[in-house]
Structure 1
Amino acid sequence: MTCEIVERKGGTVVKEKKALDDQKEEQKKLVLLELKRQKEEEDRDTGLDEKERQLKGLAGGLLAFIYFGYYSGYSSIFGKFLKMSNLVDVDRYGICKEDIFYCANIVLTMLYVRAQFGLNIGRPLARKFKTLDTAKKRARFSEQLWGVAMALASFTYGMVIIITYPEFFGHVEMWSTYPVLQMPFAIKFYYLYETAFWISTLVYLNIEQGRKDWMIMTIHHIFTIGLLVSSYYVHLTSIGLLIHVTMDVADIFLPTAKIFKYLDMEKCTNIAFVFVVISWIYSRHFVFLRIIFDSVYMSEKYIDKRWDPQNGYYYTENIKWLLVASLCILEILFCMWLASMLRIIYDAIRGKEINDIRSDDED
Structure 2
Amino acid sequence: MATPVAPPQPATNGFAHHEDLNWAEKEKLRVQEHQEHRATPKAQKLPKRTKKRAEDESLLSSLCALVCDNQIGISVNLILLLFLTHISFPRARRRTSKFIHLSYYNSDTGAYGCGADDLSLVALWIVILTGARVAIMEYVLDPLARLGGIKSRKGLIRFKEQGYLIVYYTFSWSLGMYIMYHSEFWLNLNGMWSDWPKREVSGLFKWYYLVQWAFYLQSMLVVNIEEKRKDYAQMFIHHIFTAALIYLSYGYYHMRVGTVILCIMDVVDIILPTAKLLKYMGYKIAPDIVFGIFVATWLVTRHVFYIMVCWSIYTHAPTAMAPGCYLSDGTIIPKNSTEEFNALGGDQIWGNLIKAYTDRQGPICWNPSMRFGFLALLLALQIILLLWFIMIIKVVYKVVSGQGADDVRSDSECDDEDEIEEEEEIERTTFLIDTINPEWAPVEQEVGVEALNFSRKNYKRSQNRSSSGRASGISIPGHGDRKELLGRIGCDKPT
User: TM-score, length-normalised on structure 2?
Assistant: 0.60
1:351 alignment partner AA: G
Query: In the alignment, does 2:232 pair up with 1:181?
Result: no
The 1:353–1:283 alpha-carbon spacing in structure 2 relative to 1, beyond 3 Å, is: same
Letter in 2 for 1:96: G
What is the one-letter code of the residue matched to 1:331?
Q
Equivalent position amino acid for 2:87 in 1 = Y
2:120 to 93, 101, 107: 101
Matches within 5 A, 1:164-243: 164-166=182-184, 170-243=188-261
Q: Residues 22-41 of structure 1: matches in 2 within 5 Å?
A: none
Distance 2:395 2:125 in 1: 37
3-state secondary structure, aligned to 1:154 = helix
Tell me what 2:386 maps to.
335
How many Å apart are 1:122 and its aligned residue? 2.1
Q: Distance in 2 between matches of 1:108 and 1:202?
A: 13
**Letter paired with 1:171:** L
Please give the secondary structure, in 1, of the residue aligned with 2:216.
Answer: helix
Any conservation in 1 of the 2:189–2:312 contact (CA below 8 Å)? Answer: no
- Mapped contact 1:51–1:207 kept (Cα < 8 A): no
Tell whether 2:74 aligns with 1:58.
Answer: yes
Q: CA distance change for structure 1 residues 305 and 139 in 2, over 3 Å: closer, same or farther?
A: farther
Q: Name the counterpart of 1:358.
A: 409
Deviations 1:183-218 (A, max 9, x none): 111111111010111122222221222322222111
What SS does the aligned partner of 2:364 have? coil
In structure 2, the CA distance between the partners of 1:318 and 1:300, relative to structure 1 (3 Å rule), is: closer
Residues 190 and 312, structure 2, Cα contact 8 Å, conserved in 1: no
**Contact 1:234 / 1:315 at 8 angstroms: preserved in 2?**
no
Q: Name 1:127's counterpart in structure 2.
A: 146
Mapped partners of 2:241, 2:162: distance in 1:
21
Change in 2 beyond 3 A, CA 1:143/1:321: same
Question: 2:291 — aligned with what?
Answer: 273
Equivalent-residue separation in structure 1 for 2:207 and 2:102 (angstroms): 8
Partners of 1:347 and 1:204 in 2: CA distance: 29
Once the two structures are superposed, residues 278-332 of structure 1 have per-residue CA deviations (whole angstroms, 9 ceiling, x without a partner) of 1101111111110011010001111123436564535423421011111111111
**Structure 1 residue 180: Cα displacement:** 2.0
Among 306, 310, 314, the alignment partner of 1:288 is 306
Q: Which residue identity is paired with 2:303?
A: H
AA in 1 matched with 2:221: V
- Counterpart amino acid of residue 59 in structure 1: S
The reply on whether 1:253 has 2:271 as its aligned counterpart is yes
**Match status 1:68 vs 2:87:** no
Tell me by how many angstroms 1:358 deviates: 2.7
* Cross-structure match for 1:297: 315
Q: Which amino acid aligns with 1:321?
A: F
> Retained in 2: the 8 A contact 1:106–1:193?
yes
**Structure ranking higher in helix proportion:** 1
Match of 2:12 in 1: none
Note the C-alpha offset of 1:164: 1.6
State the AA in 1 paired with 2:397. Answer: Y
- How many residues align structurally? 315
Q: Is the 8 A contact 1:340 1:357 kept in 2?
A: yes
Aligned position for 1:18: none
Contact map agreement 1:53 1:115 (CA 8 A) in 2: no
Of the three residues 84, 97, 100, the one matched with 1:82 is: 100
The gaps in structure 1 that reach 5 residues or longer are 1-47
Letter of the structure 2 residue corresponding to residue 55 of structure 1: Q
State which structure, 1 or 2, has the greater radius of gyration over its C-alpha atoms. 2
Displacement of 1:243 in angstroms is 0.6
The aligned residue for residue 157 of structure 1 is: 175
Structure 1 segments, 4+ long, off by >3 Å, are: 48-53, 127-130, 167-170, 308-312
Task: Give the conservation status (yes or no) of the 8 Å contact 2:310–2:378.
Answer: yes
- CA separation of 1:103 and 1:241: change in aligned 2, threshold 3 A: same
Q: Report Cα offsets for 1:65-92 as digits up to 9, x if no partner.
A: 1100111123212111000001124331
Instruction: Tell me how far apart the structure 2 counterparts of residues 195 and 334 of structure 1 sit (CA, whole Å).
Output: 20
Q: 8 Å contact 2:193–2:317 — kept in the other structure?
A: yes
Q: Which secondary structure does the structure 2 equivalent of 1:211 belong to?
A: coil
Answer whether contact 1:141 1:259 (CA < 8 A) is retained: yes
Q: 1:262 aligns with which of 246, 258, 280?
A: 280
Alpha-carbon deviations, 1:69-117, whole Å to 9, x = none? 1111232121110000011243311111110111111111111111211
> AA paired with 1:165?
S
Distance 2:109 2:211 in 1: 21
Contact 2:310 2:375 in 1 (8 A): yes
In structure 1, the residue matched to 2:429 is none
Report the Cα distance in structure 1 between the residues aligned to 2:373 and 2:147, rounded to whole angstroms: 49
Cα separation, 1, equivalents of 2:145 and 2:408: 21
Shift of 1:151: 0.9
Alignment of 1:244 with 2:262, yes or no, is: yes
2:397 to 342, 346, 357: 346
The answer on whether the counterparts of 2:193 and 2:320 sit within 8 Å (CA) in structure 1 is: yes
Which runs of 5 or more structure 2 residues have no equivalent in the other structure? 1-63, 325-345, 347-351, 417-495
Q: Which residue of 2 aligns with 1:43?
A: none
Deviation at 1:54, TM superposition (A): 0.9
User: In the aligned structure 1, how far is the partner of 2:265 from the partner of 2:365?
Assistant: 25
